[in-house]
Amino acid sequence: MNLQSYKIFLFIFFILNIAFQSPSCLDSKGNKVDYFIALKHPDSTEFSYCDSSKPCKDLESTKKELNDISISPLLKTLQQIKSLKSDKYASVFWNDEVAEKDISLTYAHSKGIMGLDKHNGFLIVHSAPKFPLIINDEIDLKIQDGQQIFAQHFFCISTTSEQLNNIAEGYTIDWPYVYASNNATSILDQFKNIQQLISKKKNTDLQQKVIPFQSHKGIKFEKFSKSGSWVVPFYENVVSTHIKSGLIVESWGSPQETPSCQGEFQVFSNLEVAFPKQDEFKQTKDHSKYAISTDQKLHFVCLGDINRQQTQWKRGGGTGQQSQNNQPIGITFEKIIGNGTFGVVYLATLNDTNEKVAIKKVFQDKRYKNREFEIIKILNHQNIIKLKQAYYTKGNKDDEVYLNIVMEYVPETLSNLIRQYRKIKQQIPPQLLKVFSYQLIRGLAYLKGISIAHRDIKPQNILTDSENFLLKLCDFGSAKKLVKGDSNIAYICSRYYRAPELIFGAAQYTTQIDIWSIGTVIAEMILFEPIFQGQNSVDQLIEIIKIIGSPTKEQVLKMNPNHNQYNFPQIKPCSWPKFFSKQKPDPLLVDLISKILIYVPSERPTPLEALLHPYFNDLRNEKFYQSYPNMPDFFNFSNEEISTQPQLKNHLIPDWYKNKQIDNLSKDFNQKVFFKDSQK
């Protein structure tokens, strides 16, 4: 080995030796990790855990003890800096509760630990009071018995000592109570902010600051800081305004105080959230503190230690925040199940429940709200796809943001179902055709009740579950809430399913454009192909005329009063029974289609009127239900659904169903009375 090679070898060895010896976050086996999150369970030292060794999608319960030094990532990490007399590393410990000492409320509501040498170190942000104890200049490596009652969080991040020094500037603004430190002069001489933190010198020049930093592997974090002299709610005035997102905040709460919920963005307290067992947050033994973003911008997780009570506004404090840029915690992507100009649809799994979901990822133009998201948030009907949650992710470019809409997953589309039956050359079973048509119209009745036009009903946008006789409308990318008198774009809806008034350029249309689309979809379930297949708008109108005949001048004016061309060839309408003679569908269904597919929107049946068509009388027969026990409820009409024609409610709901509901209410009442009596 020549001299130059030997020097290179020594340099590499020196760098590796530094990296190996430097304090860092450690996992349960003592291996270095970029970060870890540990959540101690209440009434024990068992903990849930995740770290950077794999995507931190969820906290996994370990069934192990956080106090067991042989497997505890927290204690293994702290063991690196156990002695406060060593000159190999420096350390700082702060807490707002210290054993055998009352801490002034002028100090920050903050708890944390730094350990570092000249090159690298770690930061632990936690929520545990009086932790860790320092005895004879050494860390007591355990959580004390009195502190095991409550759940606590521990968030460790590995980073460089230079970045820890930058973070320390934020803590000098917070001004926490430093109760112990290893002020190794040879190390801290170059880190003035850490020295200032140890000496309890408050930074009075700044009221708040957001300090960006990175872990060793480049994961981006931010340290949020607030001075106690700035008497404002921390999450509302510092965190939410910076990340431009609403927040749901979990923090230690007092029943006597009301958490604040004010500011530019909505910040909700978990005090207001009920758990599945109907326990309120204030009744739980959870002292950990976190915040998650709601429905704005990107997906964030914050971990810190600052209360939201008003009495805490006068104290300093902060939190560390991690941006989950790839996907939110708790979701596993599986495969692409759809794509188009709108974006991409993925099949995914919610890790906590193993529920399958569909995630629609679309580019978010910052200049506009996503109309589909704004509409789907307010929809609530069994025949409309259900929104689960939504979050934002970054694209490849800094200014690219994508909205991810998480919805319930339904296995097939009506388009695929039609294709399957066409392939085997069999008609869709009459019962399935009937219940799908009924549910499709019911979904439209609900939309009409809240004045929303779907504007793109077609087989591809209808989800079906044949085994459970279930149908749901989806894809509200073209949907709009219609306001009487307002103009709307006429060039909307896929051509084959476009209502004639749209072809005639009507700008003030109604939700009756959707009933036309439904008529074409029902016809397609019989024909296995679109009933009107024009090559362009003019050709589409010609295809319509071939079947339902030429419109009269009066009909054209009722479709669009501003249309002034009426020169159409005089074509007589064809016979609907003859048109469907090859497929031989139920004559009542043919009659329903013939009443829907007419020119004048106001003369088409409304959705509720269509549901009362004799074709659906079988569904109102109790014997039909007895034959198909897994059939969905067809008669649980909501107030919105019947709001346009409430006088039809009694006709829509059969007597046997009404009597059954009365019987159920009576049984429920009797059970409650019996239960109350039995408690006396």
Alpha-carbon gap, residue 395 to 298, rounded angstroms = 11
Query: What positions carry a catalytic annotation?
Result: 456
Max Cα distance, the chain (Å) = 103
**267-269 and 247-250 as β-strands: parallel, antiparallel, unpaired?**
parallel
Residue 269 has phi, psi (to 5 degrees) of -95, 140
What is the distance between the alpha carbons of residues 244 and 265, in angstroms, rounded to a whole number?
7
Q: Please name which of 120, 158, 114, 161 lies closest in space to residue 15, comparing C-alpha atoms.
A: 120
CA–CA separation, 422 and 436 (whole Å): 17
Place of tokens 């408690």: 679
Query: Distance between CA atoms of 184 and 81, rounded to whole angstroms?
Result: 12
- Say whether 361 counts as a known binding-site residue: yes
**Could you tell me if 630 and 553 are in contact, meaning their C-beta atoms sit under 8 angstroms apart?**
no
What is the Cα–Cα distance from 40 to 305, expressed in whole angstroms?
15
Asked if 464 and 410 touch (Cβ cutoff 8 Å), the reply is yes
* CA distances to 79, 336, 408 from 385, in Å: 52, 18, 7
Sign of CA dihedral 148, 152, 156, 162: negative
Rounded to 10 degrees, what is the CA torsion of 203, 265, 242, 303? 70
SS (HEC) of 656-669: HHHHHHHHHHHHHH
The CA distance from 349 to 358, in Å, is 8
- Confirm if 568 and 548 have CB atoms less than 8 A apart: no
Dihedral angle sign, alpha carbons of residues 538, 544, 550, 555 = negative
Instruction: DSSP for 234-261, please give it.
Output: HIIIIIHHHHT--EEEE----TTSPPP-
Cβ-contact 560, 505 below 8 angstroms? yes
Answer for the pair 358, 408: CB distance below 8 angstroms, yes or no. Answer: yes
> Residue 235's closest CA among 152, 293, 308?
308
- Neighbouring C-alpha atoms within 13 Å toward the C-beta of 215: 23
CA dist., res. 517 & res. 523, Å (int): 10
Tokens of 450: 């809240």
**Cα–Cα dist 359/372, whole Å:** 13
User: What is the DSSP annotation of 539-578?
Assistant: HHHHHHHHHH-PPPHHHHHHH-TT---------PPPPHHH
57: region left, alpha or beta (phi > 0 left; psi from -120 to 50 alpha): alpha
Which is nearest to 602 in space by CA: 495, 511, 532, 491? 511
Residues in the chain, how many? 680
List, in sequence order, every beta strand (DSSP E) within 351-400.
355-363, 387-394
Tokens 């749209």: give the residue: 502
Return the residue matching tokens 């009797």: 670
* Count helices and strands in the chain by DSSP H and E runs: 21, 27
Q: Annotated binding site for ATP: which residue ranges? A: 361
Q: Annotated binding site: which residue ranges? A: 361
